[in-house]
Every structure is written in C-alpha cells, then in structure tokens.
Structure 1
Amino acid sequence: MAEAHQAVAFQFTITPEGIDLQLSYQALNQIYLSGVRSWKKRVSRVRNSLIKGVYPASPSSWLFVAIGILATMYMQSDPSMGLITKIQQHLPLRYTTAMSVANAQGQTMVSALVFSTLLWLSLILALRFCLKLLLSYHQWMFEKHGRMSNTTKVWVPLVRLLSSRKPLLYSYQSSLPHLPVPAIQDTVSRYLESVRPLLTDPEFKRMSDLANEFESNLGNRLQRYLKLKALWATNYVSDWWEEYVYLRSRGPIMVNSNYYGMDFLYVTPTSVQAARAGNTITALLLYRRKVNREELKPSRVPGTVIPLCAAQCERMFNTTRTPGVETDVLQHWLDSEFVAVYHRGRYFRLWVYRAGRLLSPREIEDQIQRILDDASPPLPGEEKLGALTAGDRIPWAQMRKQYFSSGVNKRSLDIIERAAFFVTLDDEEQGMRGDDPEGNLDRYAKSLLHGKCYDRWFDKSFSVVIYKNGKSGLNAEHSWADAPTVAHLWEVILDAFQLGYTEDGHCKGDVEPSLPQPQRLVWNIPAEAQVSSSLAVAQALADDVDCHVFPFREFGKGRIKKCRVSPDAFIQISLQLAYYRDRGGFCLTYEASMTRLFREGRTETVRSCSNESCAFITALESGETEEECRRLFQLASERHQNLYRMAMTGAGIDRHLFCLYVVSKYLGVESPFLKEVLSEPWRLSTSQTPVQQMNLFDLKNHPDFISLGGGFGPVADDGYGVSYIIVGEDMVNFHVSSKYSCSQTSAVPNLFCTTDRFNVRQYFHGLAFKVSQIQQNKII
C-alpha cells in the first residue's frame, strides 16, 4: 500500500500537547503540478473557443478594424454614419465641467471601440455566412474530370480564400451547412428505382401502389414535421440515428455493432508485448492531446479544400456506453489521467500522468510489465465480468443496477468507464504467421471482433488489444462515431513505431524509480450475480461468426483506373457479381457513404445494386459481346458514382425514410410502406475503409508497411458483411463475414464444393481480366 501513502498530502494526530500536523511536501507538489496541468487545459480551451469562434477571421483582426476606425475619425471623417455618436449618448459615464474635454475624448474613444467591435462581429458573421453558402455548393462533385463549369471555376478560389487561415480541428463546424430534407417525391421515386431489379412485376406493382398511397396521403404530413425538425435541429438525422439504430438496440453489441481494426500485415515493430503496449498507449494519449488542443487538421474531401464535420472526434476518448433497460446512454468525461487494463482475468488502473507529466513510453512499458508479472489470481466473479458487455443489454442493465450501484463494485466500474480507453493484454499470439497464414489471419480477425467474449470491454469507445507476440488491434463501439473517424486514429497509432524501439525491442526513454504500482481493481461480486447467461449468449454469437480476410495482390486501383473506371464502383460491381454467382440472383446491397459535408453528418446508404449493375452482370453471365459488356459496365460504373455522390450530398434514400418512420411512430400512425421498407434485409452489407493519411507510409519504398484495415460482422443472418481497403496502387484487402448457421453462406471459399461460394478473389480477378481485355481491344 505504499502508493496509497504517497497520495496523502498531510496527516495529523491529536496529542495531549495539541495537534501534530505532518505535511507531505512531495504529495503537495504532485497536487500543485496536476492543478497546473488542469488550468493549462482550461486556458487552452478558452483560447481555442475564441479562435474558432471568429473563424474565418482571426482575433487579431479586431485590432486592424479598430485602428482603421480611429484613423478615419482622426481625419475628421465619421465611418459609422452617426452610430458612434448614438453609442456615446448611451454610455453610462458622467463628468464634471472641469474635465469635460478629456472625458469627452475618452467617451468618443470608447464609443469608437464599441462600434469597431460591433462592425468586426458583423464582418465575421458575414464571412461565416459566405463560407457556409460556398460549402453548400455541391455541383462540383457531379462534374466530369477536366470539365469544370464556370460556376465551379469561380467557386474554387473563393473557398480557398475564405479558408486560407490555418484552422483548428473544429473551426469549420459553425460554417458547415445543415443536412437538407429531400423532397418526398424524389425519395419515393429513387426508392422504387432501387428495388426494381429485385422484384418481380407483380411485386413491383404492389410496392408502387404502397409508395404512391404513402406519398399522396401520410407522407406529406410526416414530411412537414420532419422539415420543422430540420429548421430547429443541427442535423435532422443524427440524433435519431444514434438513439434508435444504436442505443435502443437491446441485442448484443459485440459482432452486431462493434467493428475491428488490424495491425500491419507483414511488420511487427517489436515482439515485446509490454513495449508495443507502451508505444501504442503513448501514441493514443498524444493523439488525445492533439484532439483536446484542437491541433489536428480538419479532415477534408481527398484532393480538395472542402472540410468534413469533426464532431465525432469529441467523444473519442473518456467515453463509454452505459446500459439501460430501454435505452443505453453515452457518457463522456472531459479528461482522464488513467487507462483501464485487463490481463488474465484481472482489471487494473494504470495512471499515465505523473505530476501533470505524461509518462514516457519506457515508463508505461515498465508499468505494463508489472501487470504482466503479477501472478495474483482473479477475484471471484472477476475473470469473466466483461461478458456482461458482450451479451444482451437488458440483463447487463439489471445487473449493473443491482450489484454495481454502490460500494467497491461501483468504484471499480467507474474506473473502467471513466478511463481514457481500455487495453487488453492478450495471452495469445495472432497475425499472419506459421504454416497456415491464411487460417491464422482469419482467427486474428475473429479474435479482434469478439475475443473470448469476456476479455474486452465492448462498452468503451474503443479497446486496444496487444497480443503476446507484439501484434495489436482495435475493437470500436459504433454508436459514438463511424469507421472513418476511428480509422484516422488507428493510422496514427500504427505509425507509433516512429516513437522508437531499442535494439532489443524495448521502448526508448528513462524510468522514474518512484512510480507507484498499477492499481488492482477490487470487486465484491456475490455468488448469485452470475454472468453465465450473458456469456452463453455472447459465446453462441461468436461461435456462429465466420470470418475470412485476404489481401488481394494481383492488382489494385492503379490498374483499375487505367480502365477509366472508379475503383470503388469496380469493387462494388465485383461484389455483386460474386453474390450473383454464389446465390443465383441479386439482393439489396448496402454501401456506407459519409454525409460529413454537413454539420454533425454521419452516414447514408448507397443502394449499389442498381438496374445498370444488374444489366451488366446479366449480360456478362449470358455471354454478350464485349462491346455490349463494355457499354453496360460503363453505365453501371457511372450510375454507381452518381448514387454515391447523391448520398454524400444529402439526396440519399434510407435516412430520409428512416426519419419519416420515426415521426410516424411519434404520431402513433402506421404506414405499410415504411414498415415494409424498414424491414427489408441487407444481405450484402459493404463498406470501404478509407486511407486518409497517405503521407504516413511510403508504400513504394516500404511495401511491407501495409495496413489490413478492418471488418465487421454480417448484418443479416443469411447474408455477408464485406469491408475492403484500397492500399496503394497494387493491393486491395478484403474482410468477409457470414454465419455458420446459414447453410447458404460461407465467408471462406470451400474448395470441395462444385462452385466456390462467395469467392470474391476469383470474381474480382475475373471481372478485371474481362475489363482489361476489352480495353486492350480499344473498345474503351
């Protein structure tokens, strides 16, 4: 208990001679330094609030306005057209006759400064309004490469001019436009167009009748309420999407909602588990410092100066999802000076700051090694406690209220939930290694997706996993943010090897010998508080997940772009071809698209299975001529690109219909059309993981530093989940998931079947060969 005594600032005892006061100057110094760090953060927040509050102007611009106004007044000119005199008349100042001249000059000066401030604020509002108008223009996205319209040619330099100042992370937030509500006629017509290739003629006629009935009657009433919300709320979708899609879900978030990110494919910077943890934790905390200080550059549309909403970064750290009977709640704390660590059934609190100073990577490594060397057994009920976060939400909420609302259990749970993030020191080895690299890669994915179902804390905003052989990974909770935000973080963390390792694989730096031991969390869990039911639910779900990860090396976006085709469209059409050959038909296909061009935007659905893509695949399979295939493929690719752009610019289908459905529930009215639309299964759910910080890794000179990206579980029990990441010019990594319980799906191609089931690799390569062959024949 030495660390407990060090934390006491003073002690006193009452003796017959009086009070004996003993001060601990070391502890008082620690308190002082921690207070200094806290006040520095407060000052930094105030400064950043001022800087981003006046963006795109600067705080110093007030001085130029004030000097300009005073200079014109000195030249006997009134730039305010009488307003300064009006302000002077209302100033609460009184003066005597003897000092009337001096005080009158002082009043004039104050009035001029007040007018300058008002003028300055008016100019800021005007600039911000102009920037918002410019950022509301999205037609540039629909123009073909090299064919820029005159409007866009004028728009580009204006955007550059108003965003030329170096922005903070959140500087653009107040200038981003609000997400528009599409016209209900447009949404209904686009929906019918998206389902046409999936329905027979009688089915399509029935759906058209339902849609027309909805549009002409209930739809307009719901639309009026939705437009009212759009006028009042920052974003008419995001709060309902977060609450009803994520937080109100009562099933397990493990596999169903949470997703994972992988380490480098070929490189492991060190095989020392504690050292990898030391640099990873340090890199995460340095990233958090940049987020808190708003030093990160705002994300932008690749290749442009158009900013993306950064609101999701606010809850990246010190955040947890707490369970409730009806709905969960996201809790976020402004700061946390520790992380929670799990190792072999024990939970620890690891302090990462000492006297206001962030521990060095070597010091964190030393602390992690102490945890690894700790041979104490788990307390009763402690080892599998994390299974509560992996099972159904209602039992976890009830258990939390009954056994974790007071005493040591509450204190220990608070430490986990208030931690900056969660760290698991896994006792297994993972990665693409050994005699079965492909099988080990699949097991690596499953480990990150669900682990042992009790050795991750799935409620935390994200959990970092450090394996015994130095490999790492990440499991992220989905409700607080979408994958691109977490991917941006993870790219920086993978770059943490630049913090450096010694020749024997340890972190660099010195260790302060007086660092206290990591604090073991204490639990008092009654015997009747069993977690076996939650563990059984989670284990059954984990055992049912089939994962397959493979890096596709035959070619990448370089070869695809030579065919003058969008790489994303190419991959989406390949996935539909794979599904068609696997199941003999088409299905509703989900591709995630961001709407972060708008304030607090999250995602929209691209219904990538279109009439055009189905026509191309049908022609390809039926042996049509190359010229016809070329024409249909070009149409399918252009159609997909247009659908993606429409989703990004607020003209999507599914979020609008979702919000109309929520409004109908609030009004207590039923819509057969909306009910059927919202119940349609997404048997092919896809997502691209973007590489956002391409400057971090030079893949040409260092081809081994390839990220595998990440993946997620299948959305439908009889469907597939497919995540892919386009790495460099010559590689695409795929993550495919399905469920063993469905006899019609298989993530891993079965070589003993007559046909390879969902063999994306085969179909992707075959489609590329077909397109390349057409190109060589100069049809494209």
Structure 2
Amino acid sequence: MAEAHQAVAFQFTITPEGIDVQLSHQALAEVYRSGVRSWKKRLARMKNTVLTGVYPASPSSWLFVVTATLATMYMGSSDPSMGLIRKIQEHLPTSGSPSGQSQAVLSAVLFSTLLWLLLIHAMRLCLRMLLSYHGWMFQQHGKMSVTTKVWSVLVCLLSSRQPLLYSYQASLPHLPVPAVKDTVRRYLESVRPIMRDEEFDHITLLAAQFLDGLGKRLQWYLKLKALWAGNYVSDWWEEYVYLRSRTPIMVNSNYYGMDFLYVTPSSLQAARAGNAVTAFLLYRRKLNREEIKPSRIPGTVIPLCSAQWERMFNSARIPGEKTDTLQHCQDSDHVAVYHRGRYFRLPVYRAGRLLSPREIECQMQRILENQSPPSPGEEKLGALTAGSRVPWAQVRKQFFSSGVNKRSLDCIEKAAFFVTLDDDEQGMKGDDPTGNLDRYAKSLLHGKCYDRWFDKSISLVVYKNGKTGLNAEHSWADAPTVAHLWEYVLATDAFQLGYNEEGHCKGNVDPGLPPPQRLLWDIPPECQEVVTRSLAEAQTLACDVSFHVFPFRDFGKRLIKRHKTSPDAFVQLVLQLAYYRIRGTFCLTYEASMTRLFREGRTETVRSCSAESSKFVKALEDGEGPELCRRLFQLAAEKHQNLYRLAMTGSGIDRHLFCLYVVSQYLGIESPFLSKVLSEPWRLSTSQTSVQQVELFDLVNHPEYISLGGGFGPVADDGYGVSYNFSGEDMINFHISSKQSCAQSDSHKFGDQIKQALLDLRDLLSEDDRTKKPASKKDI
C-alpha cells in the first residue's frame, strides 16, 4: 500500500557489499514538520501557563514593579523595602561576584519579584473572597443592594484584564461543605410531598438518629477533605457515579446533540463531514491556545469553572474490571472514522498545516467509495463499548494488549475524536416528521449499537443525507461544556466555512494527499463471541428505549418572562402537572444544576417536586379558583428559583449526602438513613441546556437555523428522562425518553400531557392579564 511505504522514513538492506540505506526525504520532512508543530504547541502552552499563572495581574506588571522599586532607590528617597533589599544583598554570594552596584540592582530585582508575587497572591485572594459572595443571586430582580453594587465594581476592577480560558481557575472559591443539620432538614422537606405519613415518620426517625450519631463523624472527614482537595465532591462523583459503574454506558450514561431542525447546509455526506470535522479542529485550536472566553453567569461578570474543557479532545474512557479510567493525550493529528464495518485513520495535518475542508471532504469521499470488506470480527467490534464494562475490560486485556490489535485500538482511543459515516438518513423532513424526530434521537443515542465508539469523549455522526449529530461520553464533562462546542461547530459549519453551489466544501485540494489508512485487526473467534454477547445486551437495551422529541411552537420564554416568571421554573411546574395527570401522584424529581461557581464544580440536584409545587398542582386539578391557583403558582415558582440558587451556591442536598455515604463506606459503617436516601429512584430526571453563544446565531434574520438541542435516556426503569431547551424567544424543544418494558411509562402520552399543561398554565396566567387590563370604551 502506498500509504504504508510513505510511513517509513528509511529502509536498509544487508548485501555482500555492506548495508544499503535508503532515506525517504518526504517522510523525513513530515517528521520535521510534525516536530515543529509539536514544539509550537508546547511554547504556546508555556506562554499561556505564565499568563494564566499571574492572573489577575500581567507579566508586564513585573517590569512596572521593578522599575518603580529602582526609581525609588535612586531618587534618594527612603528605602521602599524597609531594609529587605540590604538583607538580600548581604546574603548574595561574594566570591567572583559583580560590583556592589550590580549587587544592589540584583537585590532590588529579587525583592521586586517577591513583592510582585505577593501582590498577585493578594489580588487572587481578594478576587476569591469576592467570588465567594452569592448574595446578589438571592436579591429581587431589578433591586440591587448597595453591598452588591460595591461588590460588582470590585469584581470588575480585579478582573478587568482580558482573561484566557483558565485564567480564573486559581481565583475560584472552593465548594463549601453545608452543615449536616441543614442538609437533612432540606432533604426531609423535599420528600414530604411524595411520602405517606408512616414512611415520612420512619425516615424522620432515621434522620434524627443519623444527626445525633454518625452524621457528625462523617461530616468531620468531609471538612478535612474540603480543606485538602480542590473540590470535595467532583473526584468521588466522577469515580463512583460514572467510572465505577459496570453497566453499559450506552443509553445509561452517554447523551446526544442534534443538528439544525429545519436546515441542512449540504446534503452531501462527505462535504458535511468535511466542514464539521474542520469546525471541531478549529475549536480544538482555540482551546489549545485558550482563546475560548471563560463561561460566565449570563448578564454578569461572574466566571464559571473551565476545568471540564481540559479533556474534551484526544480522550477516551478505558475499561477496567473494577473501575474505568480516563485517558487523555496532549495532542493528536488524526481522527478515527467508521464506515460500513471498517475503521480508518484519517490524518488531519499535512506539511504542518491543517487540511482544508475540501481536502477532508475528499478523504471522507475516499472512505465512502472504498469497497474493501470488513475483516473477520471488525464490523461489530464497537459493540464492546456498548455492552457491560467487565467483559470489555477482560477482552481488551486478553486480545488488545499487543500486536496489530493494540496499534489499531490506540489509533481509535488516541484520536482527536471519532467519526461515524452512517448509511441511514435522519432528520425531521418526510411523511412522518414526528416519528422521524423520534428515530433521529434514538439513532444518535445508540445507533446500531456497534457503529459508534461509545468510549470516546466525543463522536460525530454524519448521515447519508447530510444530517449530523453528536454523541458524548459523560464521565469527563457535563452537557453545557459539550453544548458550547456543538454550538460553535454548527455556526462555523453554516456561517463561516459554508459550501459552494454544488454543496461541496470550499478550499483547495493537494493532489498528492495519501488516502486514509485502513486499521488492521486480528479478532479471534473467542473475542468475536464476546462481541456477539455484548451486542445482544446492547440491542436489548436500545430496543427498550422509547423517545418522543417535539418542538413546542405556541409560545416560549418571551411570554413566560412577560408574566415575571422564570422560564425554567415554569417548565418544571409544567412537568409536575403533566406527571401528576399521567400517574396520579408525585415523584422524586431530578433537575441538573451546575456548581461551576466553584473550582472543579460539576452538578448538583434541584429537587423540583416541592410542597409548594404539589399544592399548586392539586389546587389546579381540584378546580380551585384561578386567583388561588395563580397565587400558589407564584409561590411554587419562587420556591423553585430559590432551590436552584441554593444548589448553585453549594447548599444543595444530594452531593453532600452522596459524599457522606462514600465516607461511611470507606469507614465500613452502614447508615440506614444514607442507604435509604441513595436508594430512592428518580422517576423524573430533567435537564435544561440553554444556548450559551447567542452571538453565533442570528435567529431574527435566520430563524430557520435553530437546533433542537439534545437528550438522554431514562434514569429509572419506570420513569422518564426529559431534556428541554428554549430556542429563541418563542419555541421550547422537548426530548422525552422512557422504557417500553414499563407499562406505566409512555413517552408520547407524557409528551401530550406536557403540551396540554403548557397551554393550561399559559391560559391561567393570561387570564390574570385580562382581569387586570382596564376596560376600554368599547367594552363599556
């Protein structure tokens, strides 16, 4: 094969006359360019490390401090160091040393450097203390206290210098450990609406015993960890919730993101793949250079933790028999591509430059036109990543630890990301748009159960009709981080890179571009048997998942905000009403909230089912008067907003209880209270992912360029997974999942109830507007 020969830099042959060495100048040139590119990245990282390390100061401020110190010394004024410069000079080595004048200058520079570092530390400490203040979040909208105004000005002053992506990391506060009694009190308050009297009395007794005994001891260990670790939750959350789970990550953990709803920028599969891959790599370049702006609370200068970006690319989840691990490479110059049962290595750099979109398109077209059959066992090999983790770990150790299998597996796991060129056509268009969206969601979540590599941090899926989508592994980051990437990819693909009139990518093509390399495998029959079993397990899981995806177009956050209500609280109350109508009861409800106001923060649970929300739902269903229902609605919405704020500011319930449980397991002590708490099922698991980079999408002039967002599988066997997002001002998208094996759950019926609940709450609030509206002359 031509590409195999080009991969060899030199060849030698032993002859009777000696050793005949043949050098490939092209290969050596590629090695040289690769090395130059690698060193450029290292130098850029070193520069960014310095800039980030001194933030909120700047490297140039060191020169200012040194100059000011020297100027003060030689202007004849008092010693600015109060004798410290003289002390430093006395301790400098004298043998072979420069003149006394030079020693004085050197001592002044050393003192200035120490002073500069001390000032940086003081500024960072001040910024951390300021960012620890969260009182602004609990103040009524439009009514800012004097304290908050002063605080806001100070934060702006200390963070005025343009930050890099990771500039704020050292200034973010640590996640505080709430008081045990407060967490238990809030827990009991949250479960009261869903428990019968005897159940609640029992859990209250267990809670009292826990507070009087074991709780204090476990809390002491957590406080000790909080002093030592960057975040007392995140490492245990990543390990015990994600990496130690032995069940399939497909459906149970991975999630997906969808393409534009109404628009397909190009119907050519290879072209769409070319632009999408280019957009991914451009984002990675910005990430490596830390040119991505740090995320902030919308409408504020408050930064959020950026740690989750670190393992976005060149990463994979590696299976283990007891626990998985996350493997991250500093760099990767290729992507792994799957098509019709074959795996390919596609280099994305040539001669030290990134391939143009048109060149990547040509490479993708070569893969699509490649007629070579899969090798034995290759076609469905990806099913190993879709099944249970233990068989995959055992097979990996036995059959993929050396030889050709290891080289090919390394190529996939160390790729920048994974690409699937899917033979199916997906999207909303067609005779059955509703059913098509449901099938689109299922395809992105699990595909055929073997045509995705679910262990990769990010997998791009490109369908035959040009539609795209994304599948993400969950352990390394949460949905908002991946959504930030996906927003950039969609916007760059459609508005920046674009296509020509025929639908092809733009750019030139190097005629000497070598074709993508087929990955070689040697899969023995014993391994193929495990693949078959993993595939059967994954297919059973995939077939059981039911999806209903729909855009709700009657109204959106514009109308909700007009009624002075949080859009998120509004939708959460809609979900409570819809669930009550379909089940006749309330359930433990999970809404994901971020804790990225703190260093290494990930998520916290907002327990959306509250006493206030249940009272409102019951009043509405019992036919109480509109005035009473509206008053109960406002109380429930305010309660939800307060719960969300508490979760964001480190006063949530579930992560604290989770960590207390982990400590109890380390100590080998069983807690009936904690065991009961952590065994309760989340029958309604919900999440909202809002658009973070609104500047990338002009929905006023191009309203058709909207995405439906993404979704995930159900958490409980008899429950629902609900993802929703607000597109523009007048549309809400819903992704509902459930399991067909449960007779009580039906995604489509639940979706119908959600639609009706949305309309009912709109009418309830709109009726209030009509009663408040003054009568016109015509009415009189």
3-state SS in 2 of match to 1:52 = helix
Which residue does the alignment assign to 2:398? 402
2:258 counterpart of 1:262: yes
Match of 1:341 among 327, 337, 342: 337
2:85 counterpart of 1:84: yes
2:127 counterpart of 1:131: yes
2:286 counterpart of 1:285: no
Instruction: Tell me if the contact between 2:630 and 2:764 (Cα under 8 Å) persists in the aligned partners.
Output: no
Q: Which amino acid aligns with 2:511?
A: P
Q: Which amino acid aligns with 2:567?
A: P
Instruction: Tell me if the contact between 1:746 and 1:758 (Cα under 8 Å) persists in the aligned partners.
Output: no
Instruction: Tell me if the contact between 1:168 and 1:295 (Cα under 8 Å) persists in the aligned partners.
Output: yes
In the TM superposition, residue 748 of structure 1 has moved relative to its aligned partner by 1.1
Q: Which amino acid aligns with 2:712?
A: F
3-state SS in 1 of match to 2:344 = strand
In the TM superposition, residue 95 of structure 1 has moved relative to its aligned partner by 5.5
3-state SS in 2 of match to 1:296 = coil
Farther-moved stretch of structure 1 (17-26 vs 594-603):
17-26
Q: 1:474-522 deviations in whole A, cap 9, x for unaligned?
A: 0100000000000000000111222021100000011111111101011
Percent identity of paired positions between Structure 1 and Structure 2: 74
Q: 1:696-725 deviations in whole A, cap 9, x for unaligned?
A: 111111110011000000000000000001
3-state SS in 1 of match to 2:460 = strand
In the TM superposition, residue 775 of structure 1 has moved relative to its aligned partner by 2.7
Which residue does the alignment assign to 1:116? 112
3-state SS in 2 of match to 1:695 = helix
In the TM superposition, residue 695 of structure 1 has moved relative to its aligned partner by 0.5
Between the aligned partners of 1:25 and 1:394, the Cα distance in structure 2 is 46
Between the aligned partners of 2:216 and 2:499, the Cα distance in structure 1 is 63
Farther-moved stretch of structure 1 (475-484 vs 523-532):
523-532
Which residue does the alignment assign to 1:700? 700
2:234 counterpart of 1:233: no
Q: 1:536-576 deviations in whole A, cap 9, x for unaligned?
A: 11000000000000000000000001111100000000001
Between the aligned partners of 1:179 and 1:18, the Cα distance in structure 2 is 69
Which residue does the alignment assign to 1:140? 136
Which residue does the alignment assign to 1:438? 434
Which residue does the alignment assign to 1:536? 536
Which residue does the alignment assign to 2:765? 771
2:96 counterpart of 1:103: no
Q: Write the mapping of 1:211-360 to structure 2, written as runs, cut at 5 A.
A: 211-360=207-356
Q: Write the mapping of 1:32-43 to structure 2, written as runs, cut at 5 A.
A: 32-43=32-43
Indicate how the Cα distance of structure 1 residues 6 and 583 shifts in structure 2: closer, same or farther if over 3 A, else same.
same
3-state SS in 2 of match to 1:397 = helix
Q: 1:151-182 deviations in whole A, cap 9, x for unaligned?
A: 10100010001111010100000000000000
2:634 counterpart of 1:634: yes
Q: 1:387-416 deviations in whole A, cap 9, x for unaligned?
A: 110011111111111111111111111111
Between the aligned partners of 1:17 and 1:224, the Cα distance in structure 2 is 78
Q: Which amino acid aligns with 1:508?
A: K
Q: Write the mapping of 1:610-759 to structure 2, written as runs, cut at 5 A.
A: 610-749=610-749, 759=753
Between the aligned partners of 2:14 and 2:617, the Cα distance in structure 1 is 88
3-state SS in 1 of match to 2:694 = coil
Farther-moved stretch of structure 1 (767-776 vs 589-598):
767-776
Instruction: Tell me if the contact between 1:579 and 1:758 (Cα under 8 Å) persists in the aligned partners.
Output: no
Instruction: Tell me if the contact between 1:12 and 1:21 (Cα under 8 Å) persists in the aligned partners.
Output: yes
Q: Which amino acid aligns with 2:201?
A: K
Farther-moved stretch of structure 1 (528-537 vs 363-372):
528-537
Q: Which amino acid aligns with 1:289?
A: R
3-state SS in 2 of match to 1:341 = strand
Instruction: Tell me if the contact between 2:479 and 2:689 (Cα under 8 Å) persists in the aligned partners.
Output: yes
Between the aligned partners of 1:650 and 1:380, the Cα distance in structure 2 is 52
Between the aligned partners of 1:19 and 1:608, the Cα distance in structure 2 is 76
In the TM superposition, residue 275 of structure 1 has moved relative to its aligned partner by 0.3
In the TM superposition, residue 625 of structure 1 has moved relative to its aligned partner by 1.2
Runs of at least 5 residues in structure 1 that lack an aligned partner in the other structure:
97-101, 750-755
In the TM superposition, residue 528 of structure 1 has moved relative to its aligned partner by 2.2
Which residue does the alignment assign to 2:202? 206
3-state SS in 2 of match to 1:285 = helix
Instruction: Tell me if the contact between 1:587 and 1:682 (Cα under 8 Å) persists in the aligned partners.
Output: yes
Which residue does the alignment assign to 1:492? 488
Which residue does the alignment assign to 1:752? none
Q: Write the mapping of 1:498-509 to structure 2, written as runs, cut at 5 A.
A: 498-509=496-507
Between the aligned partners of 1:229 and 1:104, the Cα distance in structure 2 is 50
Between the aligned partners of 2:381 and 2:96, the Cα distance in structure 1 is 74
Q: Which amino acid aligns with 1:509?
A: G
* TM-score, length of structure 2 as denominator length: 0.97
3-state SS in 2 of match to 1:193 = helix
Instruction: Tell me if the contact between 1:460 and 1:477 (Cα under 8 Å) persists in the aligned partners.
Output: yes
Q: 1:185-209 deviations in whole A, cap 9, x for unaligned?
A: 1000000000111112222111111
Between the aligned partners of 2:374 and 2:24, the Cα distance in structure 1 is 34
Which residue does the alignment assign to 1:576? 576
Instruction: Tell me if the contact between 1:745 and 1:757 (Cα under 8 Å) persists in the aligned partners.
Output: no
Which residue does the alignment assign to 1:513? 511
Between the aligned partners of 1:179 and 1:295, the Cα distance in structure 2 is 27
Between the aligned partners of 1:72 and 1:588, the Cα distance in structure 2 is 67
In the TM superposition, residue 337 of structure 1 has moved relative to its aligned partner by 0.4
3-state SS in 2 of match to 1:777 = helix
In the TM superposition, residue 21 of structure 1 has moved relative to its aligned partner by 3.4
Between the aligned partners of 2:711 and 2:685, the Cα distance in structure 1 is 11
Between the aligned partners of 1:650 and 1:664, the Cα distance in structure 2 is 21
In the TM superposition, residue 590 of structure 1 has moved relative to its aligned partner by 0.3
3-state SS in 1 of match to 2:59 = coil
Q: Which amino acid aligns with 2:85?
A: I
3-state SS in 2 of match to 1:528 = helix
Instruction: Tell me if the contact between 2:548 and 2:751 (Cα under 8 Å) persists in the aligned partners.
Output: no
Q: Which amino acid aligns with 1:402?
A: Q
In the TM superposition, residue 769 of structure 1 has moved relative to its aligned partner by 1.4
Match of 2:471 among 469, 472, 475: 475
Instruction: Tell me if the contact between 1:299 and 1:307 (Cα under 8 Å) persists in the aligned partners.
Output: yes
3-state SS in 2 of match to 1:202 = helix
Farther-moved stretch of structure 1 (204-213 vs 657-666):
204-213
Q: Which amino acid aligns with 1:466?
A: V
Indicate how the Cα distance of structure 1 residues 407 and 9 shifts in structure 2: closer, same or farther if over 3 A, else same.
closer
In the TM superposition, residue 92 of structure 1 has moved relative to its aligned partner by 1.0
In the TM superposition, residue 320 of structure 1 has moved relative to its aligned partner by 0.4
Instruction: Tell me if the contact between 1:582 and 1:758 (Cα under 8 Å) persists in the aligned partners.
Output: no
2:762 counterpart of 1:761: no
Which residue does the alignment assign to 2:561? 561
Between the aligned partners of 2:751 and 2:239, the Cα distance in structure 1 is 36
In the TM superposition, residue 18 of structure 1 has moved relative to its aligned partner by 4.3
Between the aligned partners of 2:262 and 2:41, the Cα distance in structure 1 is 39
In the TM superposition, residue 762 of structure 1 has moved relative to its aligned partner by 1.5
2:7 counterpart of 1:7: yes
Instruction: Tell me if the contact between 1:54 and 1:124 (Cα under 8 Å) persists in the aligned partners.
Output: yes
2:64 counterpart of 1:68: no
2:175 counterpart of 1:179: yes
Between the aligned partners of 2:526 and 2:85, the Cα distance in structure 1 is 76
Q: 1:337-386 deviations in whole A, cap 9, x for unaligned?
A: 00000000000000001122111100000000000000111111111111
Instruction: Tell me if the contact between 2:581 and 2:753 (Cα under 8 Å) persists in the aligned partners.
Output: no
Indicate how the Cα distance of structure 1 residues 762 and 133 shifts in structure 2: closer, same or farther if over 3 A, else same.
same
In the TM superposition, residue 462 of structure 1 has moved relative to its aligned partner by 1.3
Between the aligned partners of 1:395 and 1:8, the Cα distance in structure 2 is 36
Between the aligned partners of 1:14 and 1:382, the Cα distance in structure 2 is 37
* TM-score, length of structure 1 as denominator length: 0.97
Instruction: Tell me if the contact between 1:581 and 1:758 (Cα under 8 Å) persists in the aligned partners.
Output: no
Which residue does the alignment assign to 2:45? 45
In the TM superposition, residue 685 of structure 1 has moved relative to its aligned partner by 0.3
